[in-house]
Structure 1
Amino acid sequence: MNFAESAWSLLPPFLALSAAVVSRRVVPSLALGILAGVGLLAGGDLLRSVDLLWSKVTGLVWADGELNSWNLYIVGFLLLLGMLTSLLSLSGATQAFANWAIKRIQTARGARLTTVFLGIVIFIDDYFNSLAVGSVSRPITDKLRTSRAKLAYLLDSTAAPMCVLMPISSWGAYIIAVIGGILLTHNVTDISPLHAFVAMIPMNFYAIFAIALVVVVAIWPINLGAMKACERKALSGDVGGIQQTLADDQLPPLANGHVAGLLVPIAVLVMATVVALIATGTQTVLADGGELTALTALENTDVGLSLIIGGVVALIVAIAMLVPQQPKLSQLGNSLVVGANSMRGAIIVLCFAWCIGSVISDLKTGAYLASFVGDSIASNWLPTLLFVLAGIMAFATGTSWGTFGIMLPIAGDMAAATDIAMMLPLLAAVLAGAVFGDHCSPISDTTILSSTGAGCDHIEHVRTQLPYAVLVAIVSAVGYAVMGTSGSVTAGLMTSSLVFALLVWGLKRGVREV
């Protein structure tokens, strides 16, 4: 019996998500969803289920007759980042930076704003954003008693929203490539894919207001839902998290730690990664004989390999800067081992998330959800409908990029069948909904890496971020309803802005300054 692209295809994500929320244990919950998924794919045949499960597990490393380079690169980068962070702690640079920052950043508000600023500036890639900004900001927010849960929210709500708005990012390049195919399919030749992407920026209500809300939360401590308890604990000195300090299992930090020991390796990490992104994209374009531009270079870049290159270069620089402090080889080796080990939990969760993502893809859960978009729905409700549906799909599948791949062509077809002028608003609604669903999903890899970057318990991050994401989604849905009804992007954006301002005013009343 074929359960693919049917209501049964919703069972694995439903089991995984509900079990994760109830038990707060991510790995067993994902395992439950994976087992249910392979059982459905095998039609209940036990031996075939075991064979499928084995193929999914081995596919994490070896797929289609070759190494799964993307997965290996991401795991490798996590290990490198863990080792780099541990070395910075051993050198005393992390503590020196925290002491330096506290002299200049003396309030929790300043720590939050610093995190948001870095998250907005570093928009090349969401993985890199969450992990790199988390490494820099964590010592400051810990010292100034901001909870790890709040830090994870600040990271997650600046990473994907910024990447989806910026054409010069891994997300932007991918989306522009997809949009180009859609415009070509429907003979839309009066606008280029890049121009279309830029024109869609003010229509991406969720990304815009997610960033606006994170700035507001950084300025005023608006704590919704479970975030209240986390922030109360932080004020008493318990910031929470799963890795209070990476150096707990190491020898004490070396003497004479200095701020440059932290800033230089992180700066090298950023610069080396950006250079590698451009270089790998350039190499691919030239090898294929295409036209080399900044956009085509980013469109064809190898993000995983670039992260590895940046991580290796930064690690070498960190070791070189550590040499004058004369560490013992045992100290250096122990630091690297502890740093790599600190990422073990995140890597395990990420591998399980990749596995259930593959199962859900085979079950065509996204295609089943997309089938609910019918021809009988009034065109003025299409932006809102696509926003909600893309959100549900990204939540259930744990992937915004996968949602883009399925829903953007559908949105293009719907616009062509109703009103071609609605093409860009419908595409923008899909982008917004996918980021919203991704923010809420416990099985999203970007959500996992944001909690990793903050050193926060993963389910706690999902629980504490959810009220903020839902609030922004409500603001966005109102905007899409107005935009669809009026046919005016300005009217939709202004209405959303008004609703957002009223909600923030209501939430801010009575908030105590921190």
Structure 2
Amino acid sequence: MDPFDAGWLSLLPPIIAITLALITKEVISSLFLGILSGTVIYCLGMGTGDLIIKPVEIAFTTMVNKVDFNIIIFCTLLGALVFTISRAGGTRAYGNWATKRIKSKRVAMLSTGGLGAFIFIDDYFNCLTVGTVMRPVTDRYKISRAKLAYIIDATAAPICIIAPISSWAAAVGSNLKATGAFESDFAAFVATIPYNFYALFSIIMVVMVCLGNFDFGPMRKAELRAQQGELGNVDAEQAELGTSAKGSLIDMLLPIGSLIFFAVVALLYSGGYWGSDPAYHTLAAAFGNSSASKALVWASFG
């Protein structure tokens, strides 16, 4: 596809996709219609004349070309890992251990955000892991699932986008390098961190919500329902998963710690840290040259 300057019309596809998602509560079709609107604008601008078949052809071709099976495999293996940790009783053991040390609702929320900040390798891994691990703890202090989800999600992506060692760092850095303004992907990424206002303000907002118990709108309603005990039966959910009662902390810490360790090693390996080219024999250069999607698949297998 040849480049085309659509001007302000380039704003329409994301607006259409987001609006439809909010109205229909259905993401896949909303995203597809957003992409389709973009291809229609492209065909109009390029003067193809065909506004029915051509936009659909371009939309499907673009989506197929953008599929990254490494990410699909990683998410599948990651889901299996989280499920296995839960079945082994590691999640329950951590919940029991944390409950003895976490003495208030405020500390429980801050601990959720803190764990999210610690797991900075990937936002998918962050959300799945922190949600599974902290849910028993937040349930004990009657923190709504909606608020737990907000704390996790508002920490996961922002912390990954400002962490130099993450799947996002490699992806974003590779795009920034195309401008030719920096010597490496890593240098380009690090230079953007102070200006990533969304990520920084999102993390600040999470801290404010945790410290000030600041709720409004639907979140406040969810919290009021949680205080009345509308949380779901955690014990029944664990029984349905066949959770072992013999689990210990090591059943959670060893797999998660191993995944983080393997992810760092795999990122360095894919970036050529141990390769023949001396240009990548530094941490910064290796991380900048790494393939995050491949590294995460290797790490999840490890």
Q: Give the TM-score band, short-chain normalised.
A: 0.7 to 0.9
Aligned counterpart for 2:123 among listed residues 114, 126, 134: 126
Match of 1:231 among 223, 226, 229: 223
Instruction: Give, in whole Å, the separation in 1 of the partners of 2:186 and 2:62.
Output: 36
Q: Counterparts in 2 of 1:203-352, with a 5 A limit?
A: 204-239=196-231, 250=240, 252-282=242-272, 286=275, 290-313=279-302
Q: What does residue 23 of structure 2 align with?
A: 22
So what's the TM-score if we normalise by structure 2? 0.79
Residues 178, 19 of structure 1: alpha-carbon distance in 2 compared, 3 angstrom cutoff? closer
After superposition, the Cα gap between the structure-2 partners of 1:94 and 1:296, relative to the gap in structure 1 and judged at 3 Å, is same
Find the aligned partners of 1:297 and 1:80 in 2 and give their Cα distance: 25
Aligned CA-pair RMSD: 3.7
> 1: CA distance between counterparts of 2:9 and 2:105?
47
Per-residue CA distance 1:153-211 (angstroms, 9 max, x = gap): 222333343344444444455666666675758xxxxx999788767655555443332
Distance in 2 separating the partners of 1:3 and 1:294: 38
Classify the secondary structure of the residue corresponding to 1:237: coil
Answer whether contact 1:161 1:207 (CA < 8 A) is retained. Answer: yes
Q: CA deviation at 1:15?
A: 1.9
In structure 2, the residue matched to 1:161 is 158
Q: Structure 1 CA distance, aligned partners of 2:11 and 2:205?
A: 32
1:252 maps to a residue whose letter is: G
Query: Contact between 2:120 and 2:160, CA under 8 Å: does it hold in 1?
Result: yes
Question: What is the CA distance between 1:222 and its match in structure 2?
Answer: 0.7
Quick one: structure 1 residues 29 and 199, their matched pair in 2 at CA, closer, same or farther if it must change by over 3 Å? Answer: closer
CA positional deviation for 1:229: 1.5
Shift, 1:248, TM fit? 7.2
Contact in 2 for aligned 1:173/1:295 (Cα 8 Å): no
| Cα distance, 1:50 vs structure 2 | 4.0
* Contact 2:184–2:285 (Cα < 8 Å) also in 1: no
Query: Which stretches in structure 2 are left out of the alignment for 5+ residues?
Result: 44-48
**Is residue 76 of structure 2 the alignment partner of residue 117 of structure 1?**
no
Cα distance in structure 1, aligned partners of 2:129 and 2:165 = 18
Deviations 1:328-375 (A, max 9, x none): xxxxxxxxxxxxxxxxxxxxxxxxxxxxxxxxxxxxxxxxxxxxxxxx
Paired residue secondary structure (1:290): helix
1:297 offset after TM fit, Å? 0.9
AA partner of residue 142 (structure 1): D
Conservation of the 8 A alpha-carbon contact between 1:16 and 1:33: yes
- In 2: Cα distance, 1:219 partner to 1:56 partner: 44
Partner deviation per Cα, 1:223-271 (whole Å, 9 max, x = no partner): 133211122222223348xxx8996795633342223212221222222
CA pair 198-12 structure 1, distance change in 2 beyond 3 A? closer
CA distance in 1, matches of 2:213, 2:157: 22
Between the aligned partners of 2:236 and 2:268, the Cα distance in structure 1 is 32
Q: Number of paired residues?
A: 295
> What is the TM-score of this pair, normalised by structure 1?
0.49
Contact 1:170 1:298 in 2 (8 A): no
- Letter aligned with residue 120 of structure 2: F
Whether the aligned pair in 2 keeps the contact of 1:170 and 1:299 (CA below 8 Å) is no
Contact 1:73-1:305 within 8 A present in 2 as well: yes
Letter in structure 1 aligned against 2:254: V
Instruction: Report deviation, 1:152.
Output: 2.6
Percent same amino acid among aligned pairs?
Answer: 39
1:50 and 1:183 mapped to 2: Cα distance? 34
Change (3 A) 1:237 1:263: farther
Higher relative contact order (CA 8 A, sep 6+): 1
| Pairs within 5 Å for 1:449-464 | none
Q: Does 1:143 align with 2:140?
A: yes
Q: Deviations over 1:71-91 (max 9, x none)?
A: 212111221122122222322
Partner of 1:134, secondary structure, is helix
CA distance in 1, matches of 2:173, 2:56: 40
Distance apart, 1:142 and its partner CA = 3.1
1:304 and 1:193 map into 2 onto residues whose CA distance is 16
Counterpart residue type for residue 280 of structure 1: S
CA 1:225 to 1:73, structure 2 compared with 1: closer, same or farther past 3 Å? same
Change (3 A) 1:254 1:128: closer
The answer to whether residue 77 in structure 2 is matched with residue 80 in structure 1 is: yes
SS in 2 for 1:224: coil
Inter-CA distance 89–226: structure 2 relative to 1 (3 Å threshold): same
Aligned to 1:400: none
